[in-house]
Amino acid sequence: MHRPQRTRHRKSRSLAVVAVLLASAALVGCSGEDGPEQSVDAFLSGWRSGDLNAVGFVDPTGAKVAAADVAREIKELSGELAETPPTLTRQGKPEVQQNTATATIRVQWALPGDTTWTYDRPVRLTQGRDDAWQVIWEPQLVQEQLTSGDRLGLRRDRAPRAGVLDAAGEPLIAPRPVVRVGVQPSEVTDIKALTRELDTAFRAIRPAITPPIDVSGLAKRVEEAEPTAFVEVVTLRDEAYRQIKPRIHELPGTKFSTDELDLAPTREFARAVLGTVDPAQADDLAKFPDRYSPVTWWGTAGCRATGTSGCAAHRG
């Protein structure tokens, strides 16, 4: 009498366990399809393509942010790198805590000169009322130091040049103060008059600078520059600048910044042997487009010529 009942009870329990397992499997499957990793992957794909419509966004306060606005801001933040979007990869699975998640992404920018800039960034997500995972948008997702209105830019840093020593072992080439003479377009009142005044002042420097400083294209450069830009005219040794400072310092639109460059004791000192380090010119840029940029300084002539064996080879 009792055995059939016990048998039926065991079957019921077995069916219940199977039902629970099936239900659990169904829940896991659903979670895997709509988990935060899918939102992260869609974000990375949209970042590269510029189309983020498949991703939901909120700001750190929880307010919704339009996908088109995020795409626009990413492009603006990318600045000079916008035309070459980075390679983006998710590093492992996101860490989930209740209705929030954090994923790590790797950002790899391809820079000029076969250089790669690589770093990791955290992506935070939150689960909305519809259970969809939304990316919490903030400019620091692109790079940790960025805020709204910032732009990424490219700059070449000149590598230190090797020393050029005299017979006693003392350096002939050493860091010496210079002054960069420039113009801010928004403060120029009469560009023709300014050009004349600068040309006259530069020609008054003694010993004379050869070849003479050419300011013939200054008006066009000022016209094409941003109003608040620093349009550099020339870099002078400090002693040369002091000769003409009273004549140019108060001219409307002139701006000045100080720096140090590796220079010989004077401009004429053993110039034929030591050579000079000067900004790359138009013909240099045309001949070596992959090596130089408009801000590259390179060794010219003498033993400081770029690539000269046994001397101070310059790397841009």
HEC-encoded secondary structure of 261-304? EEECCCCCCCHHHHCEEEECCHHHHHHCCCCCCCCCEEEECHHH
Average pLDDT on 160-173 reads: 72
Q: How many residues does the structure list for the chain?
A: 316
Q: What is the pLDDT of residue 172?
A: 77
What's the rounded Cα separation, in Å, for the pair 179 and 232? 11
Cα distance between residue 133 and residue 114, in whole Å: 37
Is 70 exceeded by the pLDDT of residue 106?
A: yes
Lowest mean pLDDT among 53-67, 127-141, 294-308: 294-308
Tokens 């065991």 found at: 10
The structure tokens listed for 285 are 């840029």
pLDDT at position 4 is 42
What's the half-sphere exposure (Cβ side, CA atoms, 13 Å) at 292? 19
Predicted pLDDT of residue 62: 93
User: Strand 115-127 relative to strand 133-136: parallel, antiparallel, unpaired?
Assistant: antiparallel
Higher pLDDT among residues 239 and 128, named by residue: 239
Q: Could you give the percent of the chain with pLDDT greater than 90?
A: 58
Assess whether pLDDT exceeds 50 at residue 237: yes
SS3 144: coil
- pLDDT reading at 222 higher than 90: yes
Residue 49 pLDDT: 95
Q: How many helices (H) and strands (E) does the chain have?
A: 8, 11
Which residue type sits at 267? R
pTM over 0.75: no
Q: What is the mean pLDDT of residues 244-254?
A: 97
More confident residue, 161 or 266: 266
Distances (CA, A) of 228 to 151, 184, 304: 16, 6, 35
Q: Strands 133-136 and 57-58, how do they pair?
A: parallel
CA 245 to chain centre: 35
* Angle subtended at Cα 251 by Cα 248 and Cα 253, rounded to the nearest 5 degrees: 120
Q: At 90, which amino acid appears?
A: R
Residue 1 pLDDT more than 70?
no
What pLDDT, on a 0 to 100 scale, did the predictor assign at position 94?
Answer: 95
pLDDT band at 234 (very low <50, low <70, confident <90, very high): very high
Closest CA to 115 of 84, 91, 145: 84
- Predicted confidence (pLDDT) per residue in 176-219, tens digit: 999 999 999 999 999 999 999 999 999 999 999 888 999 999 99
Q: Average of pLDDT values for 98-118? A: 93
Let me know: does 143 contact 152? Beta carbons within 8 Å. Answer: yes
Q: What is the per-residue pLDDT across 19-77, written as a single tens digit (0 to 9) for each?
A: 333 333 333 333 345 689 999 999 999 999 999 999 999 999 999 999 999 999 999 99
Distance between first and last Cα of the chain:
97
> Per-residue b/e over 42-67, b at no fewer than 16 CB within 10 Å?
bbbebbeeeebeebbbbeeeeeebeb
User: Of the candidates 174, 62, 75, 82, which has an alpha carbon nearest to the alpha carbon of residue 124?
Assistant: 62
Looking at the chain, the whole-number percentage of residues with pLDDT higher than 70 is: 71
| Maximal CA-CA distance, the chain | 124
Q: Is the pLDDT score of 175 beyond 80?
A: yes
Per-residue confidence (pLDDT) for residue 112, from 0 to 100: 86
Q: What is the spatial distance between Cα 53 and Cα 300, in angstroms, rounded to a whole number?
A: 53
Q: How far is the C-alpha of 247 from the C-alpha of 154, rounded, in Å?
A: 35
Residue 261 pLDDT: 86
- Taking all residues of the chain, what is their mean pLDDT, rounded to a whole number? 80
User: Is the pLDDT score of 315 beyond 50?
Assistant: no
Q: Is 23 left (phi over 0), alpha (psi -120 to 50) or beta?
A: alpha
Q: Quote the CA–CA distance of 185 and 224 in Å, as a whole number.
A: 9
Residue 133 · residue 58 · CB < 8 Å: no
Select, from the ranges 147-156, 181-190, 268-277, 287-296, the one with the highest average predicted confidence (pLDDT). Answer: 181-190
